[in-house]
């Protein structure tokens, strides 16, 4: 192994190590001490809000799929739309 290949190998190993550490949330402070980064409270609130929005959208998609596959669409379509309107007001 020549010196150039060794340098490339070391750089590759350090890069992979940095990516793995970043993935698991390991950070360093100014003194070089390592710690696990925890998400901020704002991130948690935003995450919960986004999860609630996704849940609501999944419910709406489920209703729309039921409407699309219903055999008696003419009568139930109006009922489903009214139920969606009622659910969105809540």
What are the pLDDT digits (tens) for 26-84?
Answer: 777 777 777 766 665 557 788 889 999 999 999 999 988 887 776 665 566 777 788 88
40 by DSSP, 3-state: which?
Answer: coil
Of 84, 85, 82, nearest in space to 59 by CA: 84
The verdict on 69 and 85 lying in the same domain is yes
Say whether pLDDT at 16 is over 90.
yes
Of 17, 66, 41, nearest in space to 83 by CA: 66
The domain tally of the chain equals 2
| pTM: predicted TM-score of the whole model, two decimal places | 0.38
The verdict on 32 and 47 lying in the same domain is no
The verdict on 19 and 52 lying in the same domain is no
The verdict on 12 and 31 lying in the same domain is yes
List the alpha helices (DSSP H) in 39-72: 41-69
The verdict on 3 and 30 lying in the same domain is yes
Residue 24 to residue 37: CA distance in whole angstroms: 9
36 — phi, psi (to 5°)? -90, 130
Place of tokens 């750089």: 11
């Amino acid at each position: 192994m020549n010196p150039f290949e060794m340098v490339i190998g070391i750089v590759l190993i350090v890069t992979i190590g940095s990516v793995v550490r970043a993935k698991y949330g390991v950070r360093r402070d100014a003194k070089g001490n390592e710690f696990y980064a925890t998400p901020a409270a704002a991130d948690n609130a935003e995450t919960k809000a986004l999860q609630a929005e996704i849940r609501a959208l999944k419910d709406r998609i489920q209703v729309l799929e039921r409407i699309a596959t219903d055999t008696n669409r003419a009568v139930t379509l109006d009922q489903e739309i009214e139920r969606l309107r009622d659910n969105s007001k809540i």
